[in-house]
Structure formats: C-alpha cells, structure tokens
Amino acid sequence: MATYSYLFLALLFSSLCNRSMVLSSNMDSHDLARVQPLAPLPAWACSSKESKREGLKIIHRYGPCSPFDGQRATPIQILQQDQSRVTRLQSRLTRASSRVDVQDTTLPARPGTAVETGDYIVTVGFGTPPRDMTLVFDTGSDLTWIQCQPCSGGCYEQQYPIFNPTDSSSYLNLSCNSAVCSQLSLSNGCSSSTCVYSTGYGDGSKSIGFFAHDTLSLTQSDVFPNFLFGCGQQSNGLFGKAAGLLGLGRESVSLISQTATKFGRVFSYCLPSSPSSPGYLTFGTDAIPSTVKFTPLVTDPNNPSFYFLNMIGISVKGQALPIPASTLASPGTIIDSGTVITRLPSSAYAALRLAFQQEMMNYKSVSSPSSVLDTCYELGGSEALSVPPIVLHFEGDVDVNLDYSGIIYEMRAVGCLAFAGNEDNGELTIIGNKQQLKLDVVYDVGGRKVGFGPGGCR
C-alpha cells in the first residue's frame, strides 16, 4: 500500500516519546476470439503445481492457498477495497507536497481497523535464527516493516506469532544520531536515543515503532545482514493477518535499493493467474526471459517512489482508440501491484467502453453488481465470453496484449469489462494487477525501464 510522505509525530504509546511485451494470445488481434480460460479449480482447492521459476512464492491472500485462516473476500468486496486504495493513491499523488502539523496529529488506538492493502503475499525470514514472516508486497511503498513485541502501543491481529527482537542475535535498534536516521524521510524522532519511524496510510491507519536493522533472508542463499526495517510497536489496520509489508518502491530504504549490490536493482514477478495457483517474485537479471520487451521508466520528482510509464494508446480489435496523446501523458501512468482494476482518464475509458460494447452486442447486457465496474454481461454457464482483443501500447514499441483474465472481471454470473474510469482526465492512470496477470513483469530500476513478456508463471 502506498504511504503518505508526510510525518506522524504524535505517539500515544508510553515507550516512545515524541520528537521529531508482448503477451501472445495465439489469435489474430484483428478478430473476435473465443478466449476460453483454463478450467478453474474448485473454490476450496489449492493447486499443487509449482512455478518453474526460482524465487519467492506469491500467494493471493484471499485464495485457498493463503495461510491466513478465515481471510476470504468476495469479488465485490475486493472491488470495494480496490476503490479505497485508488482514492488514497490519487490523493497522495495530487498532494505530494502536503505535510501535517504534528502538534495537531493524534493516533487512534484502534487495532484491527480495516485497511485495504495489496492482494498478494510472500514469506521471508527475519532475524538470527530466521523467523518466517508473511508480508504483503507492494510496489507503491518503500519501507519494509513488521509488527514487533512488546507492541506497547497496540497491534492488529496477525496469523503467526509477532516477531520478538530479543530472540534474534543480530537485531539492533538505530541511534538517533546515525546518518540513516537523519536521512530517513519517515523518521519522527527518538525514544531514549533510539530512532523512531512513523508511516501513515490514507485512511488513518499507521505503523509506528523503532527503526532498526537485522538479517533478512529471502532464500537460503540470499541473506542480507543489517537490513533496515521498521519494528512496529503500534499498528492499526487489518493487513490480511500479514506480519507487515514488504516495500518494493524506488527510494533508498526500499528492499530494491538495499539489495542493489547483489541484484542490481532488478526484480520481476508473475502474479498467479488464479487465486488457486502460485506466482513468483525474483531478484536480479538471471531470471529475465528473453521474450521481455522494455519501455522506459519515468521519474516524477514529486513522487519518486512510484513506477511511472509512458502509455501512448489502447487498441480494441486492432483499431486504435481515438485518445489524444495528451490525455494519457498528463498527469501520467503508474504500474501498481496493489491496485486491482486499471483506472483510465474519463475520456479514454469512455472510448474503450464504447468500442468494447460495439463488439459485445451479441451478449445480454446486465447491471453491474459493483459500482466500480459499469459494463457487464451475462455469463453463459461454463462458456467464456468471446471478447475483442485489447492491447495497451507503451513507449518503445511495447504492445501488451491482455489475457482474457485481464479483460473480464467475473462476479457471480456476470462478467464485466475490467477497467474503470477516473472522475476526470486530470487524475492519474493506474495499471492494475488484473491487467498484469499471466505476464512476466520486470523492473530494471537501475536501467530505468520496465518490461513485459508472455507466458508468466510457467
């Protein structure tokens, strides 16, 4: 989940004192194609099929493979959460320079308050000896943090025991006079000469605690001593019973920057094609498929953590939509692992919807079960809809052909166009994770490029 850049300094817990590309669909892109998805597993079944890729296994936190007991959500609930995330992202990006008067800030002691984080989780090891921690991973955040005992300010419920720093022989809090503490944008100050961090989210949810370092184990061979992270003493927000968050943004404190010496600031993922299947998250250049095509990575000085791309057009059934280049160019496009449904400028979405509707006239149009999506059709039993091919075009002659799962969002007996429009053309375009399914997505931060390739998760 993306974090606000402003600081939250008022700490209510007693132990802390205030201070402070192409996806090949095997079909002619100019023809309607009956795209039949693979037969899904039963809702209760978790696939035993393993990805052939090395790296961290990605699991959908609401799927049957999730380790979180009782954490399930309907497609409609997921869309409601998604809209909340998008609202916060848009707010952060349009008010990047906003700051809060810390004297007027209060932290509600409400552990367990719902907060909408990303849908995908990975498990890594913290400490010596390593303790497994299952975290939400998020390309829209930088700081990695986990809940830590004694949780003096209150913590939300998580699935497995909360990390105890005293059990790790390599754990160390950072002092207030350390260079890292003084440079940390999320640093709020000190408690008994110990550096304190505070990171807040748009709905008021927060994580506050000690800024520390310990050993991070991604795999048995990828071990990083002195990894900087937040050891949370107060956290409010139900993060899907995860232990915390893994930050994959671009800033210096992110996992990508801290492991740059070994991995060259390169990582890639394939999101699982269904909640019943695993995906993967890998680091370094060795695992990049030769089929990946790259588009330039853009930096917004006001929002340096986000991954901006230049999307230059959209095609439906081989026909470019009449979208002026300026509509997509400003305020720009980001790719985000935590947003589900792609959001487009209002006029761009209107053009996409019209072209899609014209190709779907043989299907019965129905009302949407969700306010997020507005172009829906009745599903005919087990038969998939025949959908027109949709292609997203990016700078560098990169064309991303969407899979059926990136075009249709299914709810009950209804299939909806898996795009939504912003309120106006002045809001950010966001490429959601639904449109990234079955793709290898590669982030070469050092090379300033993002790539897309077919055949992900195989």
- CA dist 341 → 271, 295, 401, 407, 448 (Å): 14, 21, 16, 10, 25
- CA 68, 152, 216, 139 dihedral sign is positive
Phi-psi region of 26 (alpha: psi -120 to 50; beta: other; left: phi over 0): left
- Residue 278 CA, distance from chain mean position: 16
Pairwise CA distance, residues 444 & 267, whole Å: 7
Task: Name, in order, each residue with C-beta under 8 angstroms of 325's C-beta and a sequence gap of 6 or more.
Answer: 312, 313
- CA dist 155 → 113, 247, 401 (Å): 10, 19, 43
Q: Where does residue 157 rank: exposed (0-12), middle (13-18), buried (19+ CB within 10 A)?
A: exposed
Q: What is the DSSP letter of 404?
A: G
Pairwise CA distance, residues 385 & 406, whole Å: 13
Q: Which two tokens stand for residue 183?
A: 């440079």
Active site residues: 138, 336
Q: Which two tokens stand for residue 316?
A: 């439906």
